[in-house]
Amino acid sequence: MTSGTPAVRLRAAHAALGGRPVLRGLDLSVAAGEVVALLGPNGSGKSTTVRAVVGTVPLRSGERELFGVPGARFRAWHRLGYVPQCGTAAGGVPATVREVVATGRLARHGLRPPRRRDKAAVAAALEAVGLLPLAGDPVAELSGGQRRRVLIARALAGAPELLVMDEPTAGVDLASQQVLAETLRREAARGTAVLLVLHELGPLAPLIDRAVPLREGRVAGQETPADHENRSGLLT
């Protein structure tokens, strides 16, 4: 990625789900080291936006670029880490915490046996989310918040340059949210671009650079976290 090139850029993005238009000319960019939060009510297009970014929802029209490369030509998936809104840490297959997090390295080493640097990256990701002491435990025995942290560690294990997270604080206790906030602070400090879907900023507010409200599949303005908190306070 050349200097000044956003990690992700959507231009005039249109997308549909089940034939129903969801994104209606959305423009969005996230720079290296920037933390951007997508906000808005249910149905505003937040989750569809991040799914369009990672390519699981195709654009009907408009442009998508990752690190300056058109989406259709992008192949460097090791540069991107994704935590979906829904999903289980082990997909119903018995596995330990370490085994699930290790799958985050597959985009880098494929099916070859993991090397020392892969194992070190997995350990670092587990430590970042506070789960290293539970590395050998079955994922099925973890709490909901801990399982969410496993998914985050899996994304971090690949050392992504763009981290996309869909409602990472949903159903997660306050302690886990604070661990996430510290993890994301460190990622942004090392230059990782972070795109989040949130219902409210909560403990993540201090590290958000831009809050982007969506309405009916369009960007409804740009706000600082303080702007958003003030506006939200007026609405309550």
Sorted by where each starts, the structural domains of the chain and their CATH numbers stand as 8-89+159-235 (3.40.50.300)
Alpha-carbon Rg for the chain, nearest whole angstrom, is: 17
Number of DSSP helices (H) and strands (E) in the chain, helices first:
7, 10
Amino acid identity at 124: A
Amino acid identity at 217: G
For the chain, give the percent of residues with pLDDT over 90. 65
What 8-state DSSP symbol labels residue 43?
Answer: T
pLDDT of residue 199: 86
End-to-end CA distance of the chain: 43
- Whether pTM > 0.85 for this model: the answer is yes
pLDDT of residue 235: 42
pLDDT tens-place string over residues 103-150: 999 887 777 788 899 999 999 999 988 899 999 999 999 988 888 889
Of 34-43, 44-53, 169-178, the range with the lowest mean pLDDT is 169-178
